[in-house]
């Protein structure tokens, strides 16, 4: 009976891994992504253009990274004199359109960078975006110094 259990276990593993591949979003792509690094352990920001090629709106509902302990969706807003950052629960990508995450607007806030080896310009970081249709985007973003602005 023991071989049966082993066989079932390995079958489950192969099903799980093919599901993980299938879960990459077929409809949403990210272009021109990068991370703006700041010195002294200050939070970094992630920028990119997200394109939704589908006929329905899709939301980005979560973001995470193995390279940062805490990742949030933020929007910088200004009333003309003061600028502040608002935490977003989701970022809607309308059908057949693109949304830019860029300095002064939407961005990923990347906090609690891993310590060893410390993230620095020239590195790449991994970011995973979870979409409202249950699929994911796995991104590899180059890290650049703030002067890239």
- Which residues of the shown chain bind Cu ion in the complex (CB under 5 A)? 74, 85, 109
**Measured distance CA(135)–CA(26) in Å, rounded:** 8
**Measured distance CA(62)–CA(77) in Å, rounded:** 20
Closest of 89, 91, 84 to residue 30, by C-alpha:
91
Residue nearest to Cu ion (CB): 74
Nearer to Cu ion, 62 or 85 (CB): 85
**Measured distance CA(71)–CA(110) in Å, rounded:** 5
Nearer to Cu ion, 23 or 109 (CB): 109
User: Taking the CB of residue 77, how many other CB atoms lie within 10 A of it?
Assistant: 12
How many CA atoms, within 13 angstroms, populate the side-chain half-sphere of residue 143?
Answer: 19
Nearer to Cu ion, 25 or 43 (CB): 43
**Measured distance CA(114)–CA(68) in Å, rounded:** 6
Nearer to Cu ion, 42 or 114 (CB): 42
């Amino acid at each position: 009976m023991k071989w049966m259990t082993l066989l079932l276990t390995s079958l489950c593993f192969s099903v799980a891994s093919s599901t993980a591949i299938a879960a990459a979003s077929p409809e949403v792509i990210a272009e021109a992504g990068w991370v703006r690094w700041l010195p002294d352990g200050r939070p970094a920001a992630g920028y990119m253009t997200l394109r939704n090629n589908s006929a329905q709106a899709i939301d980005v509902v979560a973001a995470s990274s193995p390279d940062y302990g805490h990742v949030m969706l933020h929007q910088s807003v200004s009333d003309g004199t003061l600028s502040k950052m608002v935490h977003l629960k989701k970022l809607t990508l309308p059908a057949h359109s693109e949304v830019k995450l860029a300095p002064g607007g939407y961005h990923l806030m990347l906090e609690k960078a891993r310590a060893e080896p410390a993230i620095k310009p020239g590195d790449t970081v991994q970011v995973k975006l979870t979409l409202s249709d249950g699929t994911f985007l796995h991104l590899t973003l180059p890290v650049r110094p703030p002067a890239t602005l």
